[in-house]
Structure 1
Amino acid sequence: MRIGILGGTFDPIHFGHIRPALEIKSLLGLDSIWLMPNHIPPHKASPLVNTKQRLAMVELVCQEYKEFKLCDIEARRSGPSYLFTTLEELNKIYPEHEFFFLIGTDSLVSLPSWYHWQSLFNLCHFVVSTRKGWRLTSDMPIFKEYEQRLTTLGQFKSQKSGLIFQVDITPQAYSSTQIRQQVSQGLSPSDAVPRQVLKFIAEKNLYQTPA
């Protein structure tokens, strides 16, 4: 099966995560998208709510959208969530699957700072979504890899790993930071967050201090 993986803190998960992932699933003909919450993200500040609560919010989304599945492999770790370690483990557990890791241009630019970054291409494909204000230039360390591995959807042939797909998706004007700020102000951002997730946030009294 072709499995897309979307990692993140999901603090909280919102339509800015959900809608692009659904578009990518359709564009690439993926069988499923696995939503993978981090426990201790090595490239971001620590989440404001605990791992158990973030897992619960993602599970609510998976219950509502059959296209998604919760992947808790990183959330169960006690240490930082390095993608290399995660993909190694997933490939051992699911050797029959072909993994597509979803990132934005901003993350692709920083990829050379990731743990064992060049070995990641032996473990998955990358699907890169355009990010406003970000672009690749020839002086960037990732540029050569990007240029060599870039593959159009029409040229795609079955290959276990190592390709890069560039996709244009519908821009989403949502961010977790803004959502947390709205909730702390007593607002209910129903346009940005699924109803069941908002209900969970209210029931657990989350994000009541400014982000």
Structure 2
Amino acid sequence: MKIGILGGTFDPIHYGHIKPLLEVQAALGLDEVWLMPNHIPPHKDGTNTSTRHRLAMAQLVCHQYPQLKLCDIEANRDQPSYSVETLKHLRQTHGQDQLVFIMGMDSFVGLPTWYHWRQLFDLCHIAVCQRPGWTLCDDSEMAAQINTRRADKTGLDKAAESDCYAGLIFPVTITPQPYSSTEIRRQLAQNQLATDAMPQAIADYIAAHRLYR
């Protein structure tokens, strides 16, 4: 199988997460895309609501979009969730699958600050969500990585046929989304949430549990 994986706090999950995932899935022909909420994010001070609620909201999204699946491996870990350690575990349990780790260009640019980041290329492929206007400096290390490893859907299909399970980078241009978790939390605190920011099931869950008030 060709499996996309998006990790994050999803605090809360919204269309700024969901719509790019669906575009990446379509562009690369992924069989599934996993939502992977983390419990203790290594690059953030913490979360604004509990792991239990964030898992529940991600599961509601998966009910609405059958191609999305919930992965709770990081949510169940009582220590910082380093992506390389997670992918080592997933590679052991999904040895014959194409794992495509999905991230935004902003995260990709900052990848050298991640824990043992170079090992990611031995464990998975990476899909980089590019927004119009985002560019890399030609002489940067990450630009060199893209130039060396760049592939497209055809390359992913060929990788699957040749038992190549890691090391490719798939730049995918996505439609810009006007949503951010920070802004959504601010609106919720003021009872001013835009109704188009998230699926209704998520808005109803947040209201029922009085989250982000």
Equivalent residue of 1:142, what SS? Answer: helix
Match of 1:169 among 169, 174, 192: 174
Structure 1 gaps of 5+ residues are: none
Match of 1:39 in 2: 39
Contact 1:37–1:71, Cα closer than 8 Å, also in 2: yes
Three-state SS of the structure 2 residue aligned to 1:13 is: coil
In 2, are the aligned partners of 1:106 and 1:131 still within 8 Å (CA)? no
- Which amino acid in structure 1 is aligned with residue 95 of structure 2? P
Could you tell me which residue of structure 1 aligns to residue 11 of structure 2?
11
Deviation of residue 155 (structure 1)?
A: 4.3
User: Which runs of at least 4 in structure 1 moved beyond 6 Å after TM superposition?
Assistant: none
Structure 1 residue 7: Cα displacement: 0.8
> Of 180, 190, 193, which aligns to 2:198?
193
The one-letter amino acid paired with 1:65 is Y
Asked if the contact 2:131/2:175 (under 8 Å) is kept, the reply is no
The answer on whether the counterparts of 1:183 and 1:189 sit within 8 Å (CA) in structure 2 is: no
Deviation at 1:140, TM superposition (A): 2.4
Alignment-mate amino acid for residue 10 of structure 2: F
Matched, 1:58 2:58: yes
Post-superposition offset of 1:27 = 0.9
Q: Aligned equivalents of 1:22 and 1:8: distance in 2?
A: 16
TM-score by length of 1: 0.94
2:99 match: 99
**1:27-56, Cα deviation, whole Å (9 max, x unpaired):** 101000000001111112311001111001
Higher mean C-alpha displacement, 35-44 vs 137-146: 137-146
CA contact (8 A) 1:13 1:193 kept: yes
CA deviations 1:124-160 (Å, max 9, x no partner) are 1000111356421134232322211111334442221
CA contact (8 A) 2:88 2:123 kept: yes
CA distance in 2, matches of 1:30, 1:167: 13
Match of 2:2 in 1: 2
Asked if residue 183 in structure 1 is aligned to residue 188 in structure 2, the reply is: yes
Partner in structure 1 of residue 144 of structure 2: 144
Deviation track 1:66-98 (CA, whole Å, cap 9, x = no partner) reads 010000000000000100000000011121211
Residue range with higher mean Cα deviation, 14-23 or 181-190: 181-190
Task: Tell me the TM-score normalized by structure 2.
Answer: 0.93
Deviation at 1:186, TM superposition (A): 1.0
How many angstroms apart in 1 are the aligned matches of 2:113 and 2:167?
18
Deviations 1:89-125 (A, max 9, x none): 0011121211001111111111111111111001110
- Helix, strand or coil for the counterpart of 1:115? coil
Q: Show the counterpart of 1:206.
A: 211
SS at match of 2:110: helix
- Report which stretch shifted further, 6-15 or 40-49: 40-49
